[in-house]
Structure 1
């Protein structure tokens, strides 16, 4: 797949790191409160434009930085005016990624080697199944779980979800599919008492969140394997 040998994958990895790993919740709230005047919005747009270009290791692509900065700033400003919903989240990410795709495939003919393409495929996949997938899963559960049934300590659950998805990606990319079943069984055993104490509803929501988290991780893992085979 010719597009994979472009600089899109390193740019995508830089975007995911800047948008999720390097953007704390306090910055998101600051953007919502202050709009286009938010210094956190300016700082975030700067990181989101700098990292994708840095990860390409192509100095002649520096003109991409102001383009990404302006478009990321505008997109995030309008996103901060919208409710925190799954459609808004997906639209925001699709717009960011579309900009990177256009720049990487249409605005330059720079390409990377097969080994680097393989590396950035794994890198983008691993970043994707950490915070981005965790945020999406959390938004989905918030949409379907009544307030009284929501968990009180989301940070711990978020980290558990990240580690379990990382393990799933490792199992899939190394061909150890059977280990995924043991991971699901182990988590279910450890959490059985907690869910049993609060009744069937909590057990149902726990199972829903686990299945969604695992499904997304498996899909990303299979996608990584498919992309690697196409190289």
Structure 2
């Protein structure tokens, strides 16, 4: 595929790393409180512009940096004025990724080595199943959980979810699908007493979150296998 040979995948990896791994929650709050005056907004926009360009390993694409910076800055600024909803989250990411797609496919003919295509496919997948899908799952659960005092937070449970999705991705991409049964059984055993003590409702939300998290990771794994075939 022409898209896979373009610089889009390394740029997408850089974006995901910058937007999720290298953006602490305190920066997000600072942007909401200070708007366009936020130093964290400027710093984050700089990182989110630099990494996609660096990951291409092509100095000739230096001019991508100011373009991405300006568009990322204003996209995040306007997002900071909106309620923290799934829709705002998805639109924000689609806009960021759309900019990278346009630059990679239509603004340059630069390509990556065919030998590196597989690496970048896996890189995008593994970054995606960590914080990005974890945040999406948490936001979805916050919508369906009526008791907001139990709203999702990035705590130990969130890190467990990240490790689960990474393991699922490893199992799927290495054709060890049978190992998924072991993972599901292990989680069910360890969380049984916890959900039993808090009643059926918590058990239902636990099951919903687990199924959503597992499904998203499995889909990412299957897409990786399809693109790599």
Q: Under TM normalisation by the shorter chain, which class is it?
A: over 0.9
Q: Which residue of 2 aligns with 1:145?
A: 145
State the partner residue of 2:68.
Answer: 68
Report the counterpart of residue 178 of structure 2 in structure 1: 178
1:121 aligned counterpart, secondary structure: helix
RMSD: 1.1
Corresponding residue of 2:6: 6
Distance 1:50 1:73 in 2: 13
Contact 1:149 1:202 in 2 (8 A): no
Equivalent-residue separation in structure 2 for 1:36 and 1:4 (angstroms): 35
- Counterpart CA distance in 1 for 2:46 and 2:197 is 47
The TM-score normalised by the length of structure 1 is: 0.97
Gaps of 5+ in 1: none
Alpha-carbon spacing, 1:35–1:152, altered in 2? closer, same or farther (3 Å): closer
Native 8 Å contact 1:12 1:100 kept in 2: yes
The corresponding residue for 1:217 is 217
- d(CA) in 2 for partners of 1:189, 1:122: 31
Structure 2 runs not aligned, ≥5 long: none
The Cα of 1:152 is off from its aligned counterpart by: 7.9
Q: Please list every run of at least 4 consecutive aligned residues from structure 1 whose deviation after the TM superposition is greater than 2 angstroms.
A: 151-154
Give, in whole Å, the separation in 1 of the partners of 2:186 and 2:141: 22
TM-score if structure 2 supplies the norm length? 0.98
Work out the CA distance in 2 between the residues paired with 1:225 and 1:183. Answer: 20
Is contact 2:139–2:152 with CA below 8 Å preserved after alignment?
Answer: no
SS at 2:83 equivalent: coil
